[in-house]
Amino acid sequence: MTFTKILTGAVVALGLATTAMAEDKTKVGFVYVGPVGDGGWTYEHDKGRLAVEAAFGDKVETVFVESVAEGPDSERVMTQMALDGADLIFTTSFGYMDPTINVAAKFPNVKFEHATGYKRADNVSTYSARFYEGRAIQGHIAGKMTKSNIVGYIGSFPIPEVIRGINSAYIHAKKVNPDVEFKIIWAYTWFDPAKEADAAKVLIEQGADVVLQHTDSTAPQAAAQEAGNVITFGQASDMGQYAPMPRVSSIIDDWAPYYIARTQAVMDGTWSSTDTWDGIGAGMVGIGEISDAVPEDIKAEALAMKAALADGSYHAFTGPLNKQDGTPFLAEGETADDGALAGMNFYVEGIVGDIPN
Amino acid sequence: MIRLEKRPQPSRFYGVASPVFAVIATLIFGGALFAILGKDPIQAILTIFWEPLFGEFSFFYRPQLLIKGAPLVLIAIGLALGFKAGIWNIGAEGQYIMGALFGAGVGLAFYPMESWIIFPLMVLAGAFGGWVWAMIPGVLKVKFGTNEILVSLMLVYVAEQFLASMSLGLLKNPEGFGFPGSRNLQQYPSAHNADLVTGTGMHWGVVAALIAVIFAYVLLTRHRLGFAIRVTGEAPRAAKFGGVNPTRLVLFCLGLSGALAGLAGMFEVAGPAGQVTIDFNVGYGFTAIIVAFLGRLHPLGIVCAGGLMALTYIGGDIAQSQMGLPVAAIQVFQGMLLFFLLAFDLLTNYRVRIGQREAI
């Protein structure tokens, strides 16, 4: 018994010593919804974390917990990080929204950054990326490349974020190929290699020779490779190991510049609650290298569109556009405002099928 | 040569001692795993087991143990009664989801009216939801002889589809900007399953779990029905001759475990979780199966096992963030616990003999 007490005493003392030494360090916590090795969404957030470490060296300490369930578990993990002295905590999944707000209310001196949500507070910022800009480029390539005129799309959850991506891809595929048809499968998961592979196989069996995915694993890429003559795009991460075929390009989330800037702001004492929604122009959305499987002219068109989206001369949602039911959405030359984009819960005209609810 | 020899009588010593040996073996092999990963094994194990209970921030973690442990115990108690009788409800996860949907649905139907009657109605609806979902495999089994293991398990996936549908449709928060998920019940006082004393983690689900433990203990040791359950599990033919009605027993065990799982889901959605969301279920229904066996299907054992599992979850998360242990290592550590328990359980019924069998 005494021995245990001495041992614990030593551990506690050691703990206190580390805390004391770490006091001048800025501590940054990351809560991840998937494993850091998912090769997609969480992997890119973790690359952002490593970039923060690389940028600040000894001046920061980063901690993370992976595969944290949304709900009470995430609330506990955030609280634990705040208790352990984190100055800044990034919560990187939509489902962490209410837990982030709850914990932030209890720790007014800790700054929180919630990805893809819409609730803010004095110490809670939100940030997201305009992935739909990348979807426009994918749609263009898909429309040009498909021979069967069937494009498969693996949706995760029917939320505005995902619906926006489907619409953006469809609009730009349709523009270059009026005969194109989208087949959409909802996987109801962000990361489940088995389900994603099944979805990809079903789409390919139904004749799709392009598979787009809004889920995070590389399983659809593997399924497409096996089938042959099917092209895919990397999601969230480059997934370059599947280039040049099936993966012909990708949307890359690059959180590093944002994470470094926000950590710097905490160090400087200039952090304030903001809502950031950046796209290709600001570098938050990257377009992975377009592989040689894509003919030169299509590649050039895609890169021209990327440049136009980046400098703001072109908006991915430019009228005239109708909603699926035929009612007008955008007039000739009109572009969608952020409010309409953020809450998008309808398909554009031409997409067959209903959004499940 | 090493042989296994069946004991004439199950060993009483190993019956009691095998969980203890399992924990010790887990500590040794888990510690070795942590050491291979380059982490200090003693510190890792202390972080997992000591930090939540007696560490600097135990004031926060102790209530969390109740929050994490209560649904496990509540579900495991129901499952254990069935398991004792050889009735295998593997679908508690689905019953948990349906309980949450029924409970939250009733609460949200009254929104924004405030009344004391709403919460009790939600409790009843939650239990009913779980009961109904468990009655499907129950009725199919007694009417058509289907296998309740398969039916109850498959219904988990059906329940998950209902959950997704409800989060995106009927129960979606009308003020949620089109995002999935219901209103937050934590912000609806009449429906909120709050801490009974703020900051203690003691919500109605914890109370219900304690009542269920006492109820199950009395049932098993003092009541005719408990006797019927035990006899059916140990000697089904004897039970039949003894006048036990197997149909009623199947329906009772499945119904009760379903109702308790439903209650757990309802208390969770109205309290710690707050919202019906697509990812609401986090596997309590499956983990409870481990808890039931780890607790030797005994009510008091289940309380200890539920606490232990909750501890490894909470301590595991602390070890991840403080020591950089990967989540997979924590999951392997938890898996070892069940693995070693099953391994040592073998010694209850068998003994290890080294050497040749004696000639008779």
Question: Which of B60, B178, B272 is nearest residue A72 as measured by Cβ atoms?
Answer: B272
Residues B223, B156: Cα–Cα separation, whole Å: 32
Same domain, A135 and A109: no
Nearest chain B residue (CA) to A162: B179
What percent of chain B shows pLDDT beyond 70?
A: 98
| Among candidate residues B71, B93, B73, B68, the one with its CA nearest the CA of residue B313 | B68
Answer whether A64 sits within 8 Å of B321, measured CB to CB.
Answer: yes
A338 to chain B, any CB pair closer than 8 A? The answer is: no
Residues of B within 8 A of A65 (CB-CB) are 317, 320-321, 327
Per-residue pLDDT, B346: 83
Residues A102, A116: Cα–Cα separation, whole Å: 17
CA distances from A257 to A46, A166, B83 (A): 13, 27, 55
A8 to chain B, any CB pair closer than 8 A? The answer is: yes
Per-residue pLDDT, A4: 44
Residues B341, B337: Cα–Cα separation, whole Å: 6
CA distance A233 to chain B (A): 26
Answer whether B178 sits within 8 Å of A343, measured CB to CB.
Answer: yes
Under a CB-based contact definition with an 8 Å cutoff, are residues A173 and A348 in contact? no
Per-residue pLDDT, A188: 83
B38-65 pLDDT, tens digit per residue, is 999 999 999 999 999 998 899 999 999 9
Per-residue pLDDT, A8: 46
Under a CB-based contact definition with an 8 Å cutoff, are residues A110 and A87 in contact? yes
Rg (CA), chain A: 22
The three-class DSSP label of residue A206 is coil
Answer whether B180 sits within 8 Å of A158, measured CB to CB.
Answer: yes
Same domain, A295 and A187: yes
Answer whether A357 sits within 8 Å of B184, measured CB to CB.
Answer: no
Classify residue A205: in a domain, yes or no: yes
Answer whether B169 sits within 8 Å of A65, measured CB to CB.
Answer: no
Torsional class of A50: left (φ above 0), alpha (ψ -120 to 50), beta (otherwise)? alpha
A176 to chain B, any CB pair closer than 8 A? The answer is: no
> Two tokens at A314?
């072109």
Q: Give exposure, A143-152, as e/b (b: 16+ Cβ within 10 Å).
A: bbbbeebbbb
Nearest chain B residue (CA) to A80: B318
Same domain, A94 and A146: no
Domain end call among A104, A129, A154: A129
Lowest mean pLDDT among A137-146, A152-161, B123-132, B344-353: B344-353
Residues B168, B181: Cα–Cα separation, whole Å: 7
Classify residue A349: in a domain, yes or no: no
Is the bond preceding residue A328 a cis peptide, omega within 30 degrees? no
Classify residue A263: in a domain, yes or no: no
Per-residue pLDDT, B5: 83
B9-37 pLDDT, tens digit per residue, is 888 888 778 888 888 999 999 999 999 99
| Among candidate residues A64, A41, A33, the one with its CA nearest the CA of residue B320 | A64
Residues of A within 8 A of B46 (CB-CB) are 8, 11
Question: Which of A8, A81, A159 is nearest residue B179 as measured by Cβ atoms?
Answer: A159
Same domain, A159 and A300: yes
CA distance B240 to chain A (A): 45
Per-residue pLDDT, A151: 97
Same domain, A220 and A159: yes
Answer whether A83 sits within 8 Å of B57, measured CB to CB.
Answer: yes
| Class of the domain covering B38-325 | mainly alpha
> Confidence class of residue B231 from pLDDT cuts 50, 70 and 90?
confident
Nearest chain B residue (CA) to A102: B186
Classify residue A278: in a domain, yes or no: no
A122 to chain B, any CB pair closer than 8 A? The answer is: no
Question: Which of A8, A76, A188 is nearest residue B317 as measured by Cβ atoms?
Answer: A76
ipTM of the complex as predicted: 0.84
Question: Which of B169, B179, B322 is nearest residue A357 as measured by Cβ atoms?
Answer: B169
Same domain, A188 and A294: yes
HEC secondary structure over chain B: CEEEEECCCCCHHHHHHHHHHHHHHHHHHHHHHHHHCCCCHHHHHHHHHCHHHHCCCHHHHHHHHHHHHHHHHHHHHHHHHHHHCCCCCCCHHHHHHHHHHHHHHHHHHHCCCCCCCHHHHHHHHHHHHHHHHHHHHHHHHHHHCCCHHHHHHHHHHHHHHHHHHHHHCCCCCCCCCCCCCCCCHHHCCCCCCCCCCCCCCCCHHHHHHHHHHHHHHHHHHHCHHHHHHHHHHHCHHHHHHCCCCHHHHHHHHHHHHHHHHHHHHHHHHHCCCCCCCCCCCCCHHHHHHHHHHHCCCCHHHHHHHHHHHHHHHHHHHHHHHHHCCCHHHHHHHHHHHHHHHHHHHHHHHEEEEECCCCCC
Could you state, in order of their start, the residue ranges of all structural domains in chain B?
Answer: 38-325
Same domain, A138 and A119: no
Answer whether A160 sits within 8 Å of B179, measured CB to CB.
Answer: yes
Answer whether A95 sits within 8 Å of B277, measured CB to CB.
Answer: yes
Q: What is the pLDDT along chain A (357 residues), one digit of tens a residue?
A: 344 444 444 444 444 444 444 457 999 999 999 899 888 899 999 999 999 999 999 999 999 999 999 889 999 999 999 999 999 999 999 889 999 999 999 999 999 999 988 899 999 999 999 999 999 999 999 999 999 999 999 998 888 889 999 999 999 999 999 999 999 999 888 888 999 999 999 999 999 999 999 998 899 999 999 999 999 999 989 999 998 889 999 999 999 999 999 999 999 999 999 999 999 999 999 999 999 999 999 999 999 999 999 999 999 999 899 999 999 999 999 999 988 898 898 999 999 988 876
Same domain, A174 and A304: yes
Per-residue pLDDT, B356: 64
Mean pLDDT calculated for residue range B284-302: 92
A vs B: CB pairs below 8 A: 108
CATH classification of the domain holding A221: 3.40.50.2300
Count of domains forming chain A: 2
Classify residue A162: in a domain, yes or no: yes
Answer whether A15 sits within 8 Å of B180, measured CB to CB.
Answer: no
Mutation target among A8, A68, A81, A98 for the B interface, most CBs of B within 10 A: A98
Residue range(s) defining the domain that contains residue A236: 131-253+286-342
Residues of A within 8 A of B59 (CB-CB) are none
Residues 61-120 of A with CB under 8 A from B: 63-73, 75-77, 79-81, 83-84, 94-95, 98, 102, 118
Q: Give exposure, A164-175, as e/b (b: 16+ Cβ within 10 Å).
A: bbbbbbbbbbbe
Classify residue A74: in a domain, yes or no: yes
Per-residue pLDDT, A20: 42
Q: How many CA atoms lie within 13 A of A289 on its CB side?
A: 10
Residues of B within 8 A of A77 (CB-CB) are 317, 321
A41 to chain B, any CB pair closer than 8 A? The answer is: no
Strands (E), A32-149: 60-65, 88-91, 111-115, 124-129
B192-209 pLDDT, tens digit per residue, is 998 888 878 889 999 999
Classify residue A119: in a domain, yes or no: yes
Torsional class of B326: left (φ above 0), alpha (ψ -120 to 50), beta (otherwise)? beta
Same domain, A90 and A141: no
Question: Which of A36, A73, A77 is nearest residue B282 as measured by Cβ atoms?
Answer: A73
Mutation target among B278, B284, B286, B311 for the A interface, most CBs of A within 10 A: B278
Residues of B within 8 A of A79 (CB-CB) are 60
Same domain, A296 and A190: yes
CA distance A316 to chain B (A): 21
B242-253 pLDDT, tens digit per residue, is 888 889 999 999
Residue A296: how many CB atoms within 10 A of its CB? 9
As a whole number of angstroms, the longest Cα–Cα distance in chain A is 81
Classify residue A327: in a domain, yes or no: yes
Question: Which of B67, B178, B326 is nearest residue A160 as measured by Cβ atoms?
Answer: B178
Same domain, A39 and A137: no
Same domain, A182 and A62: no
Answer whether B279 sits within 8 Å of A70, measured CB to CB.
Answer: yes
Phi then psi for A131, rounded to 5 degrees?
-60, -25
Per-residue pLDDT, B179: 76
Domain end call among A101, A129, A157: A129
CA distances from B221 to B145, B214, B217 (A): 30, 11, 6
